[in-house]
């Protein structure tokens, strides 16, 4: 028999015809087994490997992100607690409905403690519209004051206003000397106070 590399087409056909059915069955079974092995191992190894690598890289990225989030969780929780505490403190310093109407007397008391003399005090007609949704809960009241005192007394008076237990803001002020007494001056102030429109819920 010629080597297979020297066989012609006619030789190959003759060889195929000489093979019995049992041999062809074994050849077919071997080919089927080879195809199954290629489908189960070769194809996944060569064609699905890039997709699998991509999935592994994505999972590794998610793990790194999760680890970063866990490290930052403590910081975020602390910032959240600080923000909640700050908001509660600010809300506690707001005026209750109608309470700002008593400010005229309280400002007069602060002036007296600073050895200032209140000459005049009147509510101011200025109006502030808070941005939504804060306009539903809060409003600002304004008051004009004219007081008399020396520079040091004026500084003490303004300082006591800014450090008052409730939120008071000096919107504007001006100081004018008195012609007859050089150590006494007239100060005009506009103050603002933010209050609730309705009594806040105790649970807030």
Query: Which pLDDT tens digit goes with each residue over 15-52?
Result: 556 656 666 567 667 777 777 666 665 666 556 666 77
Taking residues 169-179, report their average pLDDT: 86
The confidence band for 2, taking pLDDT boundaries of 50, 70 and 90, is low
Task: Write the CATH number of the domain with boundaries 99-196.
Answer: 3.30.70.60
**Mean pLDDT along residues 162-179:** 85
Buried/exposed code over 34-61 (b: 16+ C-beta within 10 A; e: otherwise):
eeeeeeeeeeeeeeeeeeeeeeeeeeee
Q: Which of 31-45, 97-111, 120-134, 136-150 has the lowest mean pLDDT?
A: 31-45
Which residues sit opposite 124 in a β-bridge? Answer: 142
Give yes or no for residue 55 having a pLDDT over 60. yes
Q: Which residues neighbour 26 within 8 Å (Cβ) at sequence distance 6 or greater?
A: none
Residues of the chain with pLDDT > 70: what percent?
Answer: 75
pLDDT of residue 188: 92
Q: What is the pLDDT of residue 17?
A: 62
Q: Give the per-residue pLDDT at 85.
A: 86
Render pLDDT for 75-112 as a digit per residue (tens, 0 to 9).
878 888 888 888 888 788 888 887 777 788 888 889 99
> d(Cα 203, Cα 91) in Å, to the nearest integer?
12
Phi/psi of residue 17, nearest 5 degrees: -70, -25
Tokens describing residue 192? 């603002």
3-state helix, strand, coil in the chain (%, to 5): 55, 20, 25
């Amino acid at each position: 028999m010629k080597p297979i590399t020297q066989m012609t087409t006619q030789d190959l056909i003759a060889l195929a015809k000489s093979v019995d059915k049992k041999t062809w069955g074994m050849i077919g079974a071997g080919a089927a087994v080879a195809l199954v092995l290629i489908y189960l191992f070769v194809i996944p190894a060569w064609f699905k490997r890039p997709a699998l690598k991509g999935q592994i890289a994505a999972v590794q990225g998610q793990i790194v992100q999760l680890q970063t989030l866990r490290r930052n969780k403590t910081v975020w929780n602390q910032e959240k607690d600080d923000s909640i505490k700050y908001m509660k403190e600010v809300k506690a310093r707001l005026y209750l409905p109608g309470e700002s109407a008593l400010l005229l007397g309280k400002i007069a008391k602060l002036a007296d403690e600073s050895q200032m003399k209140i000459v005049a005090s009147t509510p101011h007609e200025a109006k502030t519209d808070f941005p939504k949704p804060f306009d539903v809960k809060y409003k600002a009241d304004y008051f004009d004051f004219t007081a008399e005192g020396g520079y040091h007394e004026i500084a003490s008076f303004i300082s006591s206003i800014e450090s008052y237990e409730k939120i008071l803001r000096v919107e504007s002020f001006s100081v004018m000397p008195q012609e007859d007494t050089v150590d006494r001056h007239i100060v005009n102030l506009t103050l603002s106070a933010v209050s609730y429109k309705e009594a806040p819920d105790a649970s807030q």
